[in-house]
Structure 1
Amino acid sequence: MIKKIISVKGIGKFDQNFRALELKKFNIIYGENGRGKSTISAILRSLCSGDPGHILERQTLGSSSNQEVRVEIDKLGIAIFKDNRWNKLAQSLEIFDSWFIHNNVYSGTHIDIDHRMNLHEFVIGEEGVGYAKQIDECEIELKLISKDISENERMLNNHASRADLDVSNFINLIEEPDIDIDHQIENKIMEIDILKKAAEITKKPSMDFTSFPRISRSKLEDLLATTLTEISKDAEKNTLDHINRHMDYKDEAWIQKGVEYIKDDKCPFCGQTVFGSELIKAYQSYFDNRYILLKQEINTFYNEIKNDLSERNLSTIYKIIISNNSLAEYWNQYIDFEYNTIDLDLIRDNWDLLRSRIDKYFLNKILNPLEPQELKSDILVPFRLHNFDIERINEYNSLIKEINIAIESKKKSVELDDLSKKQNELKVLNAKKIRFDKDIRILCKDHELLIEKKKQLTDQKKTARAGLDQYTIDVFERYESKINAYLEECGAEFRIDQIRTGYRGKRPSVSYLLSINETQVDPSNSETHAPSFKNTLSDGDKSTLAFIFFLSKLENDPNLHDKIIVFDDPISSLDSNRKNFTQQQILNLAQKCKQIIILSHDLKFTRDVYNDISGEVCTLIIKRSKSNSIIEKWDLETEARGDYFKNYDTIYDYINNGPLDDNHKREVAKTIRLVLEGYYRIKFPKDFGSKEWLGELLKKINKANESEPLFSMKDDYLELKAINDYSKKFHHDQNPGADLTPNDAELKSFATRTIKLIND
């Protein structure tokens, strides 16, 4: 039992002004959040485990004091923490706090392997840890023997690599006695030389790609739409009419040449004047250079298209695809691939259709160069079909590329098939020549002995693990049964199933399932949107489960009577039913253990526990002292007197059970202000007088500076003002119409906000 906390210096909120505290069997320490309750818990955890980290991480900020703690413990003497270590430990401590939850049960919303390993160690207790220690010792020896094996294999690997084998296969080579290994190697080399001749499959060609002409529709549109506005239609018509009446189309070039020789308006043939001749003017306009160039451009582009869409090009495509069809049939015997050929009849139809439509447009343009033409549906559709064919050919070529890669791979594998078999046989022969050298035989023998030793240690570890497994089965059966009894008692709507030991990690771990509505849920499930610890339990359920894990282990502890049990804020996130359950379990434990220490920020909880305790109780309060904290004796019995707790219960019962009638609702509305005034008189006894109203407290909070206690209430100012404004409507001293009946929904909202303000 801890008799006295003598001194605490340089840790958290406790520095120079710590006063020695004498403890009793049952101890209640009240303190607001942030005053130092968790620091006391951390000091006691360090005292139990010997881990200085719990204290070192709480160095008092801005203090030059060396960290030091002195605790007097019954039968142990004074335990001192100094120079980052304890001179003696109190290992009979069991502590339930946020550290226990976050390290043994869950962090935030998830459970990881460290939680399950720590919980396993906590549950199995000292005897189970003894089994685990045997496993750890085997693990240490196995690490050492594995290191020796690695060094041995490193040396063997230098020789195995010469044989192009891994160490395992190198060691396991079988010696053939009375065999001339050198002669065997020579014969194998000859066999390999014979196999290096090329086979038919390596000569068979891969498949060919095919190309497909791409006709520029935009260029065709531009050319067909081209005209020369300076050249009259009449000139063109008169010239062509004259040629048709008196000559044939071949004579057009002759006339063109003659026009070039006209000088000074005289005919180059007869010398007569041609001045004013309408026919000569038509000739000169018709044979203008731009007109000639346009006709040349039309003919040139037409010839290019006829070449692209020639029968020769189409025949080439036919030959390639027909050849590929044959090759595909051949290669499919050796390679698994899907080959989709091209529909040549469809290609032919689309090809001919486009070619015929283009011919039609070009022939018309050649006959009427100055007549602009627009592409219509009769050619636009063939163009689209042609583009579809281009896409099909591109997809076909992509397929051919993939198939050719597979063909080349197959050629290489075929080339190496039988050859690789013989080469592997040669490799084995060369490896045996190295393996059965005298010095290497010794290394291999050492490896065999090390492996045997490792096997023995592994068997010992398995035996120890089997012992631990059997022990944990017995423990976990009792543990699971007790957990579920507690869960049922506190009204939880889930159960625990299949508590097991696992070995997925450095140490044994515990696994279990949640049973909710007869459905099993793996709490460690990390799959997105899958049922897990994160999304199937409320915050209250999670806190309750952690508390029950702790309780169940203690209930099965044969040394419970010697235990010092510490609870740091055990009712966080709990509803009234589970708070009552928690209170009752703590009281039950008090009858069975050596000592109980409760740290809490909840006035009602401390009052309720205090009222139900039979026997002597030490009640203490952690208070602010300038920038630090001190712990003083606290007359909880006196604090519990008066109307505060009665008013608190009135509001609390209304929230949970609803109103009895309109008078009851008016009573609750009035009580809201009274309970807040009672609470803040206890919290700020020197700043809020017994005759002052809540409105006056609000004024003081609004004016408070950082050095004053009421400054800490700044964040709650607006919420407190809103609640006060609501409640004062129902007091005659502040509102003549105070007899009005509150709206139940609104009243419940403000009542809930009031309790939350107090509990937070």
Structure 2
Amino acid sequence: MIEHIQLLRNVGLFDNLSPPAQTALTPFTLIYGENARGKTTLAAVLRSLATGNPRLVLERHRLGAQHPPHVVFRHTGGTVVFQNGAWTQPLPDVAIFDDAFVSANVCSGIELQTAHRQNLHELILGAQGVALNSALQGHVARIDQHNAALRQLADAIPAGALGPYKVDAFCDLEADPEIDRKIQEAERRLAAARSADSIRQRSGFQAIRLPDFDIDGIDDILRRTLADLEAAAAERVRSHIAKLGRGGENWVSEGMALIAPASEGNEGEVCPFCAQDLAGSDLIAHYRAYFSQAYEDLKAAIRQTGIAVRDTHAGDIPSAFERDVRTAAQAHEFWKDFAELPEIDIDTAAVARQWNAARESVLQQLRAKAAAPLEPMSLTQETRQAIHDYRARSAEVAALSERLVGANAHLEVVKEQAAADDLSALSTDLAKLRAQKARYEPEVLPHCDNYLTEKAAKTATEALRTQARVALDQYRQQIFPAFETAINDYLRRFGASFRLGEVQSVNTRSGSSASYVVVINQQNVDVTAEAGPSFRNTLSAGDRNTLALAFFFASLEQDPNLASKIVVIDDPMTSLDDHRTLRTREEIMALATRVRQVIVLSHSKPFLCSLWEQADRNTSIALRINRAAVGSEIAVWDVRSDSISEHDKRHELVRAYLQVANPAREREVAQALRPILESFMRVAYPENFPPGTLLGPFIGICDQRVGGPNEILSAADIAELRLLLNYANRFHHDTNPAWQTAAINDAELSDFAERALIFASRR
């Protein structure tokens, strides 16, 4: 409970106020003040104390004051101070109804805005619901922070790396150990699609071959000889022929063919040149073997083998090989962009060198054999090594040729795909693969990892948001129906001609808000409608204030800590009619029994006086904000003096005079007699003496009705009233121009005063 306002310095109209001890606040405190005396300022200070918001005090810094606001309140738990722009501690148990409450939660003038419904949402939820809603909004705000961070992290990812992907899809791409191969295949397929016409007309690879050396055949020729022709004899023939000089061998060969003709008729063979008997010449036998057909066949075989080697491994053959290699290289250059192909790494110069070396080595040995046909020979180790080296090169060429020819099947597939593929789809596929590779490049990987980390954090926050929303929704399902019942109960108590319907919570992007309709004549009015019936044109000022009061009281009704509340109510009856003012007083008095403290501020004396009449004097105090020499002050208010009506004051004045004559007040007593009689008539005969009626015409009506069924006054009463009126009129300006100087006799005045009181009290 707030026990005492100890200091109000430099706040609004309060210059340096330290109210006396007798102004200490009680559980039920009434504070009267004329307009512009400081009630609203005091309510704002209390709201600042409740919320801890220093702005509400700072914005009311006293104009012209050099020093900042300074406020001290004593409460049950100690002392709370506002100094240096802040409270030492807030008092959250303070609930305040004032213009700020109406403007924040109900409407601004006649306008109902989104902010009003959002604030009303919190009001309905209460402390527990606000905590749940705050938790939800905290998660929502955190998600906004995640989104901002994700945008920054996304911007940090090199734009060129994303390809056709959005950031989320890009960062979710998985690493592929075969990505390079797939990219290459995609590039080739796209290139093939772009060159479909050229591909369709292009052939594949032809086989590349190198001839082999028949080592066994060459060795056989080299080893061959003649059994009946010894090498020594053959050497003797060659030596003899050599002596004959050039053409000697041909000459001897032709001569051997002439022996038979020259020997006809002789017992033995004779020399065709000298006719001598050849029987004793062993050289002739050697000649016969040397120039035999077998020998000739041997030499021919040696010669043919050499020719075969030369024809197979010389002439155009090497050139054809190089041409085949060039053709394969050209085909490779064309197809390499469209298919996976073996590299053509043939060193044709090295092949030529080893080929020539093997060929020349073989031919050299064949030439040696031709020179000595009867001498058995074999390929030398050097020749065999040359052939081995050549064969190694030939095997490499053959293997490459096999791979190239084997690729032709794939090239046919490439042709078919190129004819059918969609360039756009292939381009997209390639872009995706390149992006997938870029995702794990060193300059991209950390950014994606940071993005995914933040995204995971956002997902976790979204889960918390979902949990908080479920908890809040469950709470709303309980509190909103109860609040609708409570608000309509208070509207009924306040005598409102409308009710609220469909009170519910609505989630929007900007936050949760309360939604409701006004029910008038069983018709729902959309309070947010832009045209037609709406909040601004169906509720009067009194209705709006009644609705605000109902919201306030209903929110207190839902508060589980109601018993500890300090309730401050500032001018609650603004724009209310007499009936609603009466019901407001009743609700305030009922509330006072349920809360810790009620403080009511008002500029209406009758309203506060009526509350004072019902209050328990032991727990109540009435204060007044008065004009002081500088600003305003707070003092004890004598409610009784302001509670007595003018009629009561006139009665008291006349009775006092009759008890003790006071010459100084004789004229006041004389002037009070007629109003006493008029007030009595309005109460005693309200139908016949309505406001504005004068006693003279009223007496005339009474005369007319004497003795009739509708008689008002008896004849004796009429006569007495006329005498009393005639005397009283002497002291009023409308009936006596000299009313201020009319003579007054104490005995006469006492007589008429006593008769007037008797007349006004016997009915």
TM superposition score normalised by structure 1: 0.54
Matched residue type, 1:521? V
Contact 1:185-1:430 at 8 Å conserved across structures: no
Q: How many angstroms apart in 1 are the aligned matches of 2:24 and 2:169?
A: 72
Q: How many angstroms apart in 2 are the aligned matches of 1:185 and 1:477?
A: 66
Q: CA shift at 1:69, angstroms?
A: 0.5
SS in 2 for 1:524: coil
Q: How many angstroms apart in 2 are the aligned matches of 1:169 and 1:646?
A: 89
Partner residue in 1 for 2:187? 182
Partner residue in 2 for 1:461? 465
Matched residue type, 2:462? T
Partner residue in 2 for 1:628? 631
SS in 2 for 1:451: helix
Matched residue type, 2:573? I
SS in 1 for 2:3: strand
Contact 2:30-2:608 at 8 Å conserved across structures: yes
Q: How many angstroms apart in 2 are the aligned matches of 1:523 and 1:668?
A: 52
* Cα deviation digits, residues 49-103 of structure 1 (max 9, x gap): 11011110111112223310110000x2010110011112211101000011111
* Cα deviation digits, residues 478-517 of structure 1 (max 9, x gap): 1110111111222212111122222225442222121122
Contact 1:45-1:95 at 8 Å conserved across structures: yes
Partner residue in 1 for 2:2? 2
Q: How many angstroms apart in 2 are the aligned matches of 1:653 and 1:473?
A: 58
2:55 to 53, 56, 59: 53
Q: How many angstroms apart in 1 are the aligned matches of 2:680 and 2:471?
A: 53
Matched residue type, 1:515? V
Q: How many angstroms apart in 1 are the aligned matches of 2:121 and 2:679?
A: 39
Q: 615-624 or 560-569: which moved more? A: 615-624
Q: CA shift at 1:126, angstroms?
A: 1.8
Q: CA shift at 1:116, angstroms?
A: 1.8
**Superposed, which structure 2 residues align to 1:479-558 within 5 Å?**
479-525=483-529, 527=530, 529-558=531-560
Partner residue in 1 for 2:735? 736
SS in 1 for 2:92: coil
1:643 aligns with 2:646: yes
1:26 to 5, 25, 28: 28
Cα distance 1:597–1:505, how it changes in 2: closer, same or farther (>3 A)?
A: farther
1:40 to 32, 39, 42: 42
Cα distance 1:645–1:451, how it changes in 2: closer, same or farther (>3 A)?
A: farther
Q: CA shift at 1:580, angstroms?
A: 0.8
* Cα deviation digits, residues 589-615 of structure 1 (max 9, x gap): 011111110100011111111112234
Matched residue type, 1:53? R
Contact 1:48-1:90 at 8 Å conserved across structures: yes
1:661 aligns with 2:695: no
Partner residue in 2 for 1:691? none
Q: How many angstroms apart in 1 are the aligned matches of 2:155 and 2:696?
A: 83
Q: How many angstroms apart in 1 are the aligned matches of 2:105 and 2:679?
A: 33
Q: How many angstroms apart in 1 are the aligned matches of 2:434 and 2:680?
A: 91
> Rg bigger for which structure?
2
1:129 aligns with 2:134: no
Partner residue in 2 for 1:141? 142
SS in 2 for 1:618: strand
Q: CA shift at 1:148, angstroms?
A: 3.5
Contact 1:184-1:429 at 8 Å conserved across structures: no
**Superposed, which structure 2 residues align to 1:237-248 within 5 Å?**
none
* Cα deviation digits, residues 221-268 of structure 1 (max 9, x gap): xxxxxxxxxxxxxxxxxxxxxxxxxxxxxxxxxxxxxxxxxxxxxxxx
Q: How many angstroms apart in 2 are the aligned matches of 1:652 and 1:544?
A: 33
Q: How many angstroms apart in 1 are the aligned matches of 2:736 and 2:94?
A: 59
Q: How many angstroms apart in 1 are the aligned matches of 2:25 and 2:65?
A: 28
Contact 1:192-1:422 at 8 Å conserved across structures: no
SS in 2 for 1:503: strand
**Superposed, which structure 2 residues align to 1:600-615 within 5 Å?**
600-615=602-617
Q: CA shift at 1:138, angstroms?
A: 2.0
Contact 1:48-1:93 at 8 Å conserved across structures: yes
SS in 2 for 1:508: strand
Aligned residues: 448
Q: How many angstroms apart in 2 are the aligned matches of 1:541 and 1:425?
A: 71
**Superposed, which structure 2 residues align to 1:296-445 within 5 Å?**
422-423=423-424, 425-437=426-438, 438-439=440-441, 440=444, 443-444=447-448
Partner residue in 2 for 1:401? none
Cα distance 1:505–1:140, how it changes in 2: closer, same or farther (>3 A)?
A: closer
Q: How many angstroms apart in 1 are the aligned matches of 2:600 and 2:41?
A: 13
Cα distance 1:652–1:144, how it changes in 2: closer, same or farther (>3 A)?
A: farther
1:104 aligns with 2:105: yes
2:597 to 595, 599, 611: 595
Partner residue in 2 for 1:619? 622
Partner residue in 2 for 1:328? none
Partner residue in 1 for 2:378? none
Q: How many angstroms apart in 1 are the aligned matches of 2:505 and 2:138?
A: 19
TM superposition score normalised by structure 2: 0.54
Q: How many angstroms apart in 1 are the aligned matches of 2:679 and 2:450?
A: 77
Q: CA shift at 1:436, angstroms?
A: 2.4
Q: CA shift at 1:112, angstroms?
A: 1.8
Q: 433-442 or 31-40: which moved more? A: 433-442
Cα distance 1:593–1:663, how it changes in 2: closer, same or farther (>3 A)?
A: closer
Matched residue type, 1:58? R
SS in 2 for 1:149: helix
Specify every segment of 5 or more residues in structure 2 that has no aligned partner in the other structure, as ranges. 200-420, 651-674, 698-728, 738-763
Q: CA shift at 1:669, angstroms?
A: 13
Q: CA shift at 1:38, angstroms?
A: 0.5
Contact 2:5-2:18 at 8 Å conserved across structures: no
Contact 1:160-1:431 at 8 Å conserved across structures: no
Q: CA shift at 1:661, angstroms?
A: 2.1
Contact 1:435-1:441 at 8 Å conserved across structures: no
Partner residue in 2 for 1:15? 15
* Cα deviation digits, residues 300-334 of structure 1 (max 9, x gap): xxxxxxxxxxxxxxxxxxxxxxxxxxxxxxxxxxx
Contact 1:494-1:516 at 8 Å conserved across structures: yes
Q: CA shift at 1:135, angstroms?
A: 1.4
Partner residue in 2 for 1:754? none
SS in 1 for 2:14: coil
Matched residue type, 1:640? S
Cα distance 1:150–1:581, how it changes in 2: closer, same or farther (>3 A)?
A: same
SS in 1 for 2:588: helix
Partner residue in 2 for 1:167? 167
Cα distance 1:442–1:31, how it changes in 2: closer, same or farther (>3 A)?
A: closer
Q: How many angstroms apart in 2 are the aligned matches of 1:166 and 1:734?
A: 95
Matched residue type, 1:520? N
Contact 2:126-2:558 at 8 Å conserved across structures: no
Q: How many angstroms apart in 2 are the aligned matches of 1:476 and 1:652?
A: 51
Contact 1:160-1:167 at 8 Å conserved across structures: no
Contact 2:182-2:433 at 8 Å conserved across structures: no
Q: How many angstroms apart in 2 are the aligned matches of 1:624 and 1:447?
A: 66
Specify every segment of 5 or more residues in structure 1 that has no aligned partner in the other structure, as ranges. 195-419, 671-729, 739-760
Q: How many angstroms apart in 1 are the aligned matches of 2:197 and 2:527?
A: 61
Cα distance 1:103–1:666, how it changes in 2: closer, same or farther (>3 A)?
A: same
Q: 594-603 or 126-135: which moved more? A: 126-135
